Structure formats: structure tokens, C-alpha cells
Structure 1
Amino acid sequence: MATRPMSPSKRVDVGQIINPPFKVLMYGQPRGHKGLFTIGIPSAQRPNTDRIYLFDTVDSIIDKTTESEKEEVTLVIMLCDLNSTYNTHISVNVYNTYQQHVESGFIQIIHTQRSIYPDLEHVKPTFNDTKDRLKWRAKQNVDFSFLMHYSINISEYYIQLEDDVIVASDFVNSIKSHLSISTAWAVLEFSRLGFIGKMFKSSDLEYVASKLMLRYDEAPCDLLLSPIRMDLGQKKSIHSKQSLFQHIGRFSSLKNKLMPSIDNKFKDNANVTFDLYNYPAADDPEASFQTTFETYLNFTTEFAYDNNASSFFWGKTPKKGDTFTLVLAMPQNLTRIVVLTGKKETRNDNLLYTDLECSTFQFGSSETDECGTMFIKLTGLADGDADTLATGTAIPNNVKCLRLRVKRKLRTWVVIREILLYT
């Protein structure tokens, strides 16, 4: 393979990274037959939380595959954190939790080694991304490449997942039904999100893995997918009508990034509850509300702060500058603030282009101006949600008011499902 520049002073031979025998610690035995498809799941530690979504993902796959289907499917879990101690700890836990499936060959567990990675500290800047994000997305491309290359000869097809998804009911048969389509294809897409649920022919994996490695520092993996697909002769994306994989993670493996996106086309959306997912009971100190949003019928402001998933505030299309303000009866030292918007089943009516702001108690403030004029931005809402723990946001002491401020006119109405405050 060709070489590419790494930094002004360093070059790396890509072939030296992925072509030698893999030096991995592996649990699970290769099967004596070639399966139908391999599911590849890279997994790394997530800052700001102890939550490990990987077990939810594996549980979902196990629950949604029959015993006969487990003979056709191989699940390869790659622990790829740069902390090797963490990788060893999780691999032992995975083995102990799923020992039966590991020993049957249904699950294989592998580790990466730090030596497989090129220089991630000198990634060329693109898309105006921060240095941390550049490093994170470059590492992700290398992780995917390594996992694909390892998986080349296991099955006929390969599906890329992440470690924070659940699968749809009867997903194996749904995938099989797409293998008989008359259109020539290189990539079948069973999710609308990122690189989740993308299926390749194993005969193409070496090419795909090589392209991800050669362009690892140029763009995020999902943006590299389109040129790879076109190189393989497929001009347009081919999506399943219903998505078979749903994203459930909220904490990213990139520090201080919230990832609340869900796939509205997921087959089992009606049977999955996403709101208040794994949140502890909030303290929710006494508060009142002020808003410039036009309230629809009796979906009033109080429903955004009642710790009840079945009720919500519903407002008509917000304008630039509109605000939704929570006024605390007493100033509070808050340890965490969570804001959840959009309809829980579909995430429609999200509060987009909006900042979460706060003001602190000011001595001498009048009763008619409890919040004062000095609001500071805490964080922007991501796909309509905010979580100061996930984003590593510092909250000042003596918070008196919290405000959601719209930065541009929206096209839809807005649902505020819940505001959770922790003291």
C-alpha cells in the first residue's frame, strides 16, 4: 500500500499497520463454517459517565436472534480504548457475562494495541473541528479499519455497528430479505444514522478498510462512506424502508459531547421508550415559569417540570429571541441540569438552535425582575436536548433562573418534555 504524510516530520506505512498478523488478545473460537454475516462493534470508554452501553447492545442482539440464527451470525467486539487496562477489564466482564456465547463462537472479543495507531496528535485540521474532535474521529476511522480487516474471512457479509445501539425484532430475517434485491449494491444501509448498520460484502472489506485507513485524518467515517460506495460502483444509497438499528447512547466517547440522536425510521420505535432514559430521580426544587412561547391549549409550562414522562409543554412555532424561563423560588447550587425536548416516540418538535442559559442571585434585585439581566450561556442544545454532566459544563453557584433562548426562527412547534434539576 502507499504511504501518506502524517505530519511535517513523520510518515507512516499504512500497510505495516494492517497487513501483519494481528496482535490481539482474543476470547472466542473461530467457527468451522463461514457464517452469513459478522457484526462488528468497536467499544471505548465514555468520559463523564460510568454507564457502559455495550452490554445493552449485546443483550439486544442476543435477545433478538434465535438459536439457529446464532449459527449464522458472529459478533466481534473490539475493545479499542487507548487505556489497555480498561480494555482488559471490560473484556473479562464481557467474557464472564456471555461465556456460553463466547465459547460457542457466537461472540469474539479482541483488543487493539496502541502500536496500530498512527500519530493522532498531529491530525491535519479540517471542518473547523477542535483538536480533540480531530483526534477522536481519526482514531474512529482507524478502529473501523482494523475491525473490518480482522473480520474479512469470518462471514459472507459484514455489518458495522456502534456500542450504543439496540436491534429491531426479527432483524436477521429482515437483512436476509434485502440480499435478494435485483439492484447491484456495495453498501446496504439499515440505519439512517452515521455509520451505524452499514453492510458490506466481505469480499470488499479489504478495500473499505484500506480507504478508511488511507483517509483516516481527512473526514469523519460517515462522510467517507459515499466516495467509498461510489468507488465500488454504487451511485446512490440503498436504505431499508425501516431501520433495524437504533441509537440509544447519550454520552459520547468524545469528551463533553452529548449524542441524543435517534432514528425516526426504526422498526420498533413504538415499543421503545427513550425519554428519561436511565436518569436518576431529580430533586427539582420549587420553581415558577415565564415564557414568550405561545402555549397550545392546556399544555402549560408546568408540565415541563413535573417529572412525568406522559405530560409536556407544547408551544407553537417559536421566533428568534423567544424564551422559556424557569425561576427558582430560592437560589440553588445545581450539580446537573437536563433538558429533554421533542416527542418521545419520534423526536419531532425538538427545540433546535437554542441555548441553555442561567442567571445567579443578585442582591438588591426587585421582585419584578427576579432573574436580572446577566444571563450567561451554559451550553447549546444538541438535537433539542441538554445534559451538563455529558457536556462537562460548569454550573455557577446560587442559580436563580434557567432560560432556554431560541437563536433563530424554527419551522415546527416545540415540545419540552422535562427539565430535571439536581442539587
Structure 2
Amino acid sequence: MKGKTRKKSSRKASPPWCAKNSPISPQPPELLTVGIASVRHPRESHLLDTLTSVFEGSTDSELNCFVVLVHLSDPDSKWLGQAVANIRSRFKAHLDAQRLLVIQGHLGSSSLPGDLKTTNNASHCETLYSRQKVGYSLLVNFAVNISEYFLMLEDNVRCVPKFVSTIYWTLLAWKDLPWAILEFSSLSFSGKVFHTHDLHRLASFFFLSHKDLPTHSLLSEFHLVLAQSVPIRFSPSIFYHMDNHSVFQGTCFPVQEEKVFGEPDNPSAGIVTDMMMIANIIPDYAYFLNKDCFSTLDAVRGNHLTVVFDRPQNVIRIEVLTGSEEQGQFQMQHGQVQLGYDPLKNSKGCARYSLLGPLVEGNLDQRVFYETGSVEELRCIRLLVLVAQESWLLIRQIKVWTQDEEEDSLMEKEIL
């Protein structure tokens, strides 16, 4: 049976990696560069509002974690001068602290490769794509040596409070795992985090692409170039557009709407585990959509709790919650969620598993994507213990959202 969606704990520690307590001690490089490419808009600009959201949504400790890099691109020197003056009047303290960097410039037609040059016959969209690719190329190329990671944002985005801490703890959990892009939003450009050592390749990827190739399509394929087979996207989004239209008004860019998932549906499944069971507390409690939980003691490396679906499922989102709801006690300290294929006999699990993601502060909330053309059927979800913990472990809830074939077909048509 279904229960009400629980309110998530607001507990979120500030990133200790970014603590800068001593003015004379050597400082590590910034964790994150927040990169924003901005151009003149035919309508109202939201760049100043975006910067306000970035800075006001961050604590003092979080402000030590990142630097904001804004690239202003337009051939009109008067517009550039006014844009810089507007930024300085609002954010002088951040500029003086070198927490905000502003660069400006553009490439003339003679400096562009042939595929990015626009002609009098170029369509409106081709002109926008070419201009945008050049802007992002210059932005990411400048950001290569500033920090360890790079966050891409558009210039009309609002951030949820403490977005830096959310990104920090996620990066910490994924640090030793392979990834190319971590996505913290469903927006085409905003909310994507890259390793800075990949930015040279990203700049070339933009700069050498054909002019009529949509920029958002190009960016969505970059993870494939770096051998990441499917997107890695977290829920819920922590970045949103400030209005209902994309950065450039018109038909050149897709309408970006946040997917509404509704309540989880947890399809029929069996639950198996090799963790210690205490009294009459059964592992199924972790899968029931009510207030029941599964608790165990002294979990060891390799222990698991596995959801084995009665039939194949098209799962689109998974959320796993461990630890107490209020204080976060008894979390799984080191664990990961895996997707299983080829069910074993007697509903004991699956023969093969692939990583969905590690737990971040004891929890996971992640979209599920499938490789293009894949015919494999998802049959299991496994929560795996990676490090033994000599204490209580509380698995509070495993939530699953599915999508039937008819909904999937409609979504594919909308994307096309």
C-alpha cells in the first residue's frame, strides 16, 4: 500500500574540504568553477538575478568552495561595458575577493573554423547555434586551470539553497568511480558538472562541430565521447529556469519542463537479503510504501538487500533512504545501488549487475537511463554494503517509479 511522501531532512553539513580557517596556510584550489556564458538578449537579461541566486544561496563556508566565471560575448563594446558596470555595481565585494571573474570577447568571422562561420544564407537557428558554441568554447577553455570541477550554468537560472553542498557530497561519493558528466538538473545546459581535465576536449567538441548541429544535442552526446554510456542524473533538480522560455526565444531550442513523477509505484517484487534479521522485522519492510523500515545489526562488506521484480520493469527513477528520518543516524556509511539483469532461479537475485550510483550521505535519488538499442530487461535492484559497519543499520525506504510502454512511446515521440 502507498504512504505519504516523507519530508526529507534538511540536515546538510557544509563541505569540510572547502574550509579555509587559516589566512597563512596553503590553500587548495577551488573545488568548483561555476561557468556562465552570457550574451545580449532580445528581452530582459537575467544574468544579475542568476548571480544573486548563486551567491545568496551559498553559506560562508560554501563560498570558499567555488569561483564564478562569467563570459560576456557580443561585438558591441558599448553593451559589454554596460554589462560589466552592472555586475560591478551589484557584486563588487565578490569581484574584489576574486570570487567572481568576468571575461569578455568574441571571435570574429575570420577566426572561426569553416563549419562555424555563418553566412547571409544561414538560418536564425544556425546563427544561434554557432554563436553559442563559440561562447561556450571560450568559457570552458579559460576555466581549465581554475578548479578541479566545472559546473555549467545558463544566465537565466535559479539555484536551490546550499546547492554547493549537494554537489560537494555527490562528488565525494563518486570520486573513485568513472564518470564524464554528472547532471544536477534536467535542463539542456545548466547543472552539468565536468572534470576540468576534460574541458579542452569539450571546447574542441563545440568549436569543431558543424554549424547547423543544435548545441543541446551536441552536449547531450559528449558523455558518449568519454565512454559514459548513459546519463547520470540526480533527482530532484537543483537548478531551474527563471521563466518558461529557453535562453533564446524561438523554436531553435526544446521546451524544457521538469518531469513530474508523482508518487512511487513500487511494482510487485520479492525481497531477499543476507543481512541479519532481528525478531520479526522482515526485509520487505524496506520496500513497503508506508512507515515500516528494515533494521539490522553489524552489516559486513558484501551484504545486500535485493528487490527482485516479478516481471521486467521499465524503471525511470529510484530513491533509497537509509538512517533515521530526523537525525540521519544508522545510515549506510558506504554503499551503492546496482541494476540487475538475467534473474536467477527461485527469485534469488540476478546474474549480472551494473552500477546505478553510490549512496550520498546514506541516500540515493537518481534517474534511470538505458543504452540506446538495449534489449536487456531490468529485473533487480540491489543495495550493496561496501564497508562493514559495527552498529545498527536502518534501511528506511526503497522507492521505485516505473513507466509503461505506452508512456515510453509518447515520450520518444516528444523527444523526436
Pairing 1:220–2:224 present: no
State whether structure 2 residue 186 is matched by structure 1 residue 204.
no
Aligned residue number for residue 272 of structure 1: none
Question: How far is 1:228 from its partner?
Answer: 2.1
Distance 2:67 2:101 in 1: 8
Question: Which residue of structure 2 lines up, in the alignment, with residue 156 of structure 1?
Answer: 148
Hey, which of these two has a bigger chunk of strand by percent? 2
Letter in 2 for 1:122: T
TM value normalised by structure 2:
0.51
In structure 2, the CA distance between the partners of 1:88 and 1:114, relative to structure 1 (3 Å rule), is: farther
Match of 2:75 in 1: 82
Q: How does 1:14-33 map to 2 (within 5 A)?
A: 33=28
CA deviations 1:221-259 (Å, max 9, x no partner) are 221124321121211100012111101145656465698
Q: Distance in 1 between matches of 2:202 and 2:29?
A: 20
Give the deviation of 1:169 after TM superposition: 1.7
* Matched residue SS, 1:241: coil
Q: Which residue of 2 aligns with 1:233?
A: 227
2:102 maps to what in 1?
Answer: 109
Task: Tell me how far apart the structure 2 counterparts of residues 93 and 69 of structure 1 sit (CA, whole Å).
Answer: 25
Q: Which moved more, 1:34-43 or 1:179-188?
A: 179-188
Aligned length: 232
CA distance in 1, matches of 2:146, 2:231: 25
Kept in 2, the 8 Å contact 1:194–1:222? The answer is yes
Aligned counterpart for 1:46 among listed residues 41, 46, 56: 41
1:261-272 → structure 2 map (5 Å cutoff): 261-264=256-259
Distance 1:124 1:115 in 2: 15
Q: Distance in 2 between matches of 1:71 and 1:102?
A: 14
Which residue does 1:134 correspond to in 2? 126
Amino acid at match of 2:202: V
Residues 71 and 113 of structure 1: CA distance in aligned 2, closer, same or farther (over 3 Å): same
Name 1:147's counterpart in structure 2. Answer: 139
3-state DSSP class of the match of 1:41? strand
Match of 2:49 in 1: 56
Aligned to 1:178: 170
Decide whether the 8 Å contact of 1:142 with 1:216 is kept in 2.
Answer: no
**What displacement does 1:83 show?**
2.0
SS at match of 1:76: strand
8 A contact 1:79–1:111 mirrored in 2 = yes
- Contact 2:106–2:135 (Cα < 8 Å) also in 1: no
- Contact 1:251–1:257, Cα closer than 8 Å, also in 2: no
The structure 2 residue matched to 1:122, chosen from 114, 118, 127, is 118
Shift of the alpha carbon at 1:158? 0.3
Correspondence for 1:194 among 154, 173, 188:
188
Q: For 1:123 and 1:143, how far apart are their aligned partners in 2?
A: 18
Q: Per-residue CA shift, 1:372-412, capped at 9, x if unaligned?
A: xxxxxxxxxxxxxxxxxxxxxxxxxxxxxxxxxxxxxxx9x
Q: How many angstroms apart in 2 are the aligned matches of 1:232 and 1:167?
A: 28
- How much has 1:102 moved relative to structure 2? 0.5
1:55-80 deviations in Å (ceiling 9; x for gaps): 11011011111112111100011111
Structure 2 vs 1, CA of residues 256 and 189 (structure 1 numbering), >3 Å: closer, same or farther? closer
Does the aligned pair in 1 maintain the 2:118–2:126 contact within 8 Å?
no
CA 108–166 in structure 1, closer or farther in 2 if over 3 Å, else same = same
Contact 1:102–1:108 (CA under 8 A) maintained in structure 2: yes
Closer, same or farther: CA 185–123 of 1 in aligned 2, 3 Å: farther
Query: Counterparts of 1:265 and 1:73 in 2: how far apart (Å)?
Result: 31
Deviation readout 1:191-250 (Å, 9 max, x if unpaired): 111111111000111111111111151512221124321121211100012111101145
Q: Which whole-Å CA distance do the structure 2 matches of 1:265 and 1:175 have between them?
A: 22
User: What SS does structure 1 have at the residue aligned with 2:182?
Assistant: strand
Closer/same/farther in 2, CA of residues 257 and 85 from structure 1, 3 Å limit: farther
Distance of aligned partners of 1:250 and 1:90 in 2 relative to their CA distance in 1, 3 Å threshold: farther
- Structure 1 pair 198–216 and aligned structure 2 pair: CA distance change class (3 A): farther
1:94 match: 87
Identical amino acids, percent of aligned pairs: 28
The separation in 1 between residues aligned to 2:94 and 2:183, in whole angstroms, is: 27
Ranges in structure 2 where 5+ consecutive residues have no aligned partner = 1-25, 262-409, 411-416
